[in-house]
Amino acid sequence: MSAVPESEIPADVPELEPREGQQVRYTTCYMCACRCGIKVTLENGRVRFIQGNPDHPVNRGVLCAKGNAGIMKQYSRAKLRAPLRRKPGSERGAGEFEEISWEEALDELTERLRRIRAEDPKKLAYFTGRDQMQALTGLWASQFGTINWAAHGGFCSVNMATAGLYTLGHAFWEFGDPDWERTRYFVLWGTAEDHASNPFKRGIDQVKRNGGRFVAVNPVRTGYQAVADEWVPIRPGTDGMLAMALGHCLLRDGQFDWAYLVRYTNAPQLVVQTPGEPGDGLILRDEDGAPLVWDLEQEACVDGRQAEIAPALFGAYTAPDGRPVKTAMTLLAERYLDAAYAPERAAEVCGIPAADIERLAAELAHVAFEEAIEVPCEWTDWAGRKHDRFIGRPVSMHAMRGVSAHSNGFQAARAIHTLQLLLGSVEVPGGHRAKPPYPRPVPPPARPARETAPDTPLGGSPLGFPVAPEDLVVDAAGEPLRIDKAFSWQAPLSAHGKMHTVITNAVAGDPYPIDTLMLFMANMAWNSAMNTAQIQELLCAKDEQGAYRLPYLVVSDAFHSETVQFADLVLPDTTYLERYDCISMLDRPISEPDGPADAIRQPILEPEGDVRPWQEVMIELGARLGLPAFTNDDGSPRYAGYNDFIVHYERAPGIGFLAGWRGADGDKPLRGEPNPQQWQRYIDNGAFFKYELPLSQQFYKFANKGYLEWAHEVGFIGAAEPIVMALYAEPLQRFRLAGQGLYDGPAPPDATDAERIAAYCDPLPLFYQPLEERRIEADGHPAYPFHAVTQRPMTMYHAWDSQNAWLRQILAQNHLYMNRARGEALGLADGDWVWVESHNGRIRAQLRLMEGTQADTVWSWNGMGKQAGIWGLEPGAPEATRGFLVNHLIDDRLPAREGEKPLSNSDPVTGQAAWYDLRVRVYKAAPEEQGSAYPPSPTFRPPPGVENGPLALLRYATHRARELRRSLRDTLTRGGWQ
Amino acid sequence: MRLGLVIDLDTCVGCHACAVACKQWNTSGTLGPLSDYEPYGAAPSGVWVNRVRSYEQGQYPHSKTVNLPLSCMHCDRPPCVDVCPTGASYKREADGVVLVDDAKCMGCNYCAWACPYGARELDTASGTMKKCTLCIDRIYDTRLPEAERQPACVLACPANARHFGDLDDPDSEVSRLVRERRGYPLLPEMGCEPVNHYLPPRPAAASRPPAAAPAEAGGQGRAAAVQEWANRIVRR
Cα distance between residue A178 and residue A430, in whole Å: 7
Name the residue ranges covered by the structural domains of chain A. Answer: 171-187+226-430+725-729, 771-929
Chain A residues in contact with B232 (beta carbon < 8 A): 258, 313
Give every CB contact of residue B234 below 8 A, 6+ residues apart in sequence: A258, A259, A262, A263, A310, A311, A313
Q: What is the pTM of this model?
A: 0.97
Mean pLDDT of the A662-684 span:
97
* Phi/psi of residue B37, nearest 5 degrees: -100, 135
Position B23 in a domain: yes
Q: Where are the alpha helices (DSSP H) in A170-257?
A: 197-209, 239-252
Q: Each residue of A631-663: pLDDT tens digit?
A: 999 999 999 999 999 999 999 999 999 999 999
Residue at B214 is within a domain? no
The strand pair at B121-123 and B128-130 is best described as antiparallel
Cβ distance of B209 and A367 shorter than 8 Å: yes
> H-type helices in A42-89, by residue range?
65-68, 70-74
CB contact under 8 A, A52 and B15: no
Q: Is A52 on the interface with B (CB under 8 A)?
A: yes
Smallest Cβ–Cβ distance between A953 and the set B28, B35, B137 belongs to B35
On whether any CB of chain B is under 8 Å from the CB of A807, the answer is: yes
Burial class (CB in 10 A: 0-12, 13-18, 19+), B86: middle
Confidence of residue A132 (pLDDT cuts 50, 70, 90): confident
pLDDT single digits (tens) B144-174:
999 999 999 999 999 999 999 999 999 999 9
Distance from CA of A611 to the nearest CA of B (A): 23
H/E stretch holding B162: strand B162-166
Task: Work out whether the CA dihedral A507, A509, A513, A514 comes out positive or negative.
Answer: negative
Contact A925, A844 (CB under 8 A): yes
Partners of residue A62 in chain B, C-beta under 8 Å: 17, 155-158, 160
**Angle, CA of A810, A812 and A815, to the nearest 5°:** 105
Q: Three-class SS of residue A117?
A: helix
- What sign results for the dihedral spanned by CA atoms A731, A734, A736, A738? negative
What is the bridge-based pairing of β-strands A688-690 and A786-791?
unpaired
| A964·B156 Cβ contact <8 A | no
Closest CA to A760 of A891, A915, A906: A906
Q: How confident is the model at residue B212 (pLDDT cuts 50, 70, 90)?
A: low
* pLDDT range class, residue A391, cuts 50, 70, 90: very high
Report how far residue B145's alpha carbon sits from residue B126's, in angstroms, rounded to the nearest whole number: 32
Contacts of B90 in chain A (CB under 8 A): 966, 970-971, 975
d(CA A211, nearest CA chain B) in Å: 6
The pLDDT tens digits of the residues spanning A805-855 come to 999 999 999 999 999 999 999 999 999 999 999 999 999 999 999 999 999
Q: What are phi and psi of A816, to 5 degrees?
A: -95, 125
User: Which chain A residues are closer than 8 Å to B48 by Cβ?
Assistant: 809
Q: Which residues on chain B are in Cβ contact (under 8 Å) with A316?
A: 227
Distance, CA of B114 to CA of B190 (rounded, Å)? 11
> What is the rounded average pLDDT of the residues A546-570?
97
Three-state DSSP class for residue A942 = coil
pLDDT classification of A764: cutoffs 50, 70, 90: very high
Q: Do B136 and A964 touch (CB under 8 A)?
A: yes
CATH code where residue B156 lies: 3.30.70.20
Q: Residue A292 and residue A306: Cα distance in Å, rounded? A: 10
Determine, for residues A311 and B236 on separate chains, whether the beta-carbon distance falls below 8 Å. Answer: yes
Q: Please provide the average confidence, as pLDDT, over all residues in chain B.
A: 93
Return residues 256-295 of A near B (CB < 8 Å).
Answer: 258-259, 262-263, 268
Domain count, chain B: 1
For chain A, what is the mean pLDDT?
96
Give A771-929's CATH code, choosing from 1.10.530.10, 3.30.70.1400, 2.40.40.20, 3.30.2320.30: 2.40.40.20
| Largest distance between two CA atoms of chain A | 103
Which residue intervals of A650-704 are DSSP H helices?
Answer: 678-684
Convert the pLDDT of each residue in A914-960 to its tens digit: 999 999 999 999 999 999 899 988 899 999 999 999 999 999 999 99
Helical axes A751-760 vs A730-739, angle rounded to 10°: 150
Q: Residue B218 and residue A344: Cβ atoms within 8 Å?
A: yes
Query: For A32, which DSSP code?
Result: S
Alpha carbons A303 and A528: distance in angstroms, whole number: 48
**What is the spatial distance between Cα A894 and Cα A916, in angstroms, rounded to a whole number?**
13
Contact B207 A2 (CB under 8 A): no
> Closest to A956 (Cβ–Cβ): which among B27, B81, B215?
B27
Q: Do A961 and B81 touch (CB under 8 A)?
A: no
Please tell me which of the candidates A185, A962, A975 has its beta carbon nearest to residue B91.
Answer: A975
Secondary structure of residue B222 in the 3-state scheme: helix
**What is the nearest CA distance from A154 to chain B, expressed in angstroms?**
27
> What gap in Å lies between CA A261 and CA A725, rounded to an integer?
9
Q: Is the pLDDT of residue A977 over 60?
A: no
Neighbours of A667 (CB within 10 A): 10
CA angle A867, A869, A872 (to 5 degrees): 115
pLDDT category at A978 given cuts 50, 70, 90 is very low
The predicted pLDDT at position A782 comes to: 74
- With a pLDDT cut of 70, the percent of chain A lying above it is 99
Residue A10 neighbours by CB distance under 10 Å: 8
Residue B134 lies in a domain: yes
Q: What is the fold, at CATH topology level, of the domain defined by A171-187+226-430+725-729?
A: Dimethylsulfoxide Reductase; domain 2 (3.40.228)
> CB neighbours of A734 closer than 8 A, spacing ≥ 6?
A282, A467, A468, A469, A743
Which residues in A345-420 belong to E strands, given as ranges? 373-380, 386-392, 395-399
Of A16, A63, A952, the CB nearest to B38: A952
pLDDT digits (tens, 9 = 90+) for A929-939: 999 899 988 89
Q: Which amino acid is at A408?
A: N
In angstroms, the CA A405 to CA A157 distance is 7
Q: How far apart are CA B164 and CA A62, in angstroms?
A: 15
The band of B113, judged by pLDDT with boundaries at 50, 70 and 90, is very high
Cβ B40–A948 below 8 Å, yes or no?
yes
Interface check A778 vs B, CB under 8 A: no
Quick one: pLDDT band at residue A604, thresholds 50, 70, 90?
very high
Chain A 836-895, residues with CB within 8 Å of chain B CB atoms: 850-855, 872-874, 876-878, 881
* pLDDT score of B226: 61
Is the minimum CB–CB distance between A143 and chain B shorter than 8 Å? Answer: no
Handedness of CA A210, A212, A216, A217 (dihedral sign): negative
Measured CA distances, B208 to A11, A204, A230, A367, A394 (Å) = 51, 16, 9, 10, 14
Task: Report the Cα A490 to chain-centroid distance in Å.
Answer: 21
Residue in chain B lying closest to A371 (CA): B209
- A363: contact with B, CB 8 A cutoff: yes
A225 or A974: which carries more pLDDT confidence?
A: A225
User: Under an 8 A CB cutoff, do B163 and A2 touch?
Assistant: yes
Q: Exposed, middle or buried, A682 (CB in 10 Å: 0-12/13-18/19+)?
A: buried
Average pLDDT over residues A99-124: 98
Q: B56: which chain A residues are within 8 Å (Cβ-Cβ)?
A: 221, 850-852
C-alpha A124/C-alpha A660 separation (Å) is 35
Domain that holds residue B147: 3-203
Q: What is the ipTM of this complex?
A: 0.96
Look at residue B228 and tell me whether its pLDDT is greater than 90.
no
Spell out which residues of chain A touch residue B78, defining contact as CB-CB under 8 Å: 977
For the segment A170-190, the average pLDDT, to the nearest whole number, is 96
Q: DSSP characters for A589-610? A: ---BTTB-EEEEE---SPPSSS
Higher model confidence: residue A623 or residue A792? A623
**Which of A364, A340, A367 is CA-nearest to residue A244?**
A340
Residue B53 falls within a domain, yes or no?
yes
Within its chain, how far is the Cα of A591 from the centroid? 16
DSSP A501: G
Q: Determine the 3-state secondary structure of A271 from DSSP.
A: strand
Does the CB of A307 have a partner CB in chain B at under 8 Å?
A: yes
Largest CA distance in chain B: 87
How far, in Å, CA of A954 to CA of B33, rounded?
A: 9
- Out of B40, B61, B155, the one facing A805 most closely (by C-beta) is B40
Q: Measured on CA atoms in the order A237, A238, A241, A247, is the torsion positive or negative?
A: negative
* Shortest Cα distance, chain A CAs vs residue B71, angstroms: 16
- Which residue among A71, A821, A874 sits closest to B40, beta carbon to beta carbon? A874
Query: Is the residue at B234 inside a domain?
Result: no
Residue A549 contacts B, CB cutoff 8 Å = no
Residue B211 has what DSSP assignment? P
pLDDT at B217 over 60: no
Residue B46 lies in a domain: yes
Residue of A946, A136, A139 whose CA lies nearest to A611: A946
* Residue among A898, A899, A893, A862 at smallest CA distance from A879: A862
Q: Is the pLDDT score of A599 beyond 90?
A: yes
Q: Which of residues 588 through 647 in chain A touch B, CB cutoff 8 A?
A: none
For residue A814, the tally of other CB atoms under 10 A from its CB is 28
Q: Which residues of A touch B154 (CB under 8 A)?
A: 1
Nearest to B31 among A1, A358, A961 (CB): A961
Interchain pair A212, B207: CB under 8 A: yes
Q: Cβ contact (<8 Å) for A337 and B88?
A: no
Contact A68 B24 (CB under 8 A): yes
Closest CA to A686 of A603, A781, A756, A601: A601
CB atoms within 10 A of CB B228: 8
Q: In this complex, is the C-beta atom of A302 within 8 Å of any C-beta atom belonging to chain B? A: no
Scored b (16 or more CB within 10 A) or e, A164-203 reads bbbbbbbbbbbbbbbbbebbbbbbbbbbbbbbbbbbbbbb
pLDDT at B225: 61
Q: Are strands A395-399 and A185-189 parallel, antiparallel or unpaired?
A: parallel
Query: Cα distance from B205 to chain A (closest Cα, Å)?
Result: 8
Rounded alpha-carbon distances, angstroms, from residue B232 to A296, A311, B208, B222 = 9, 9, 32, 18
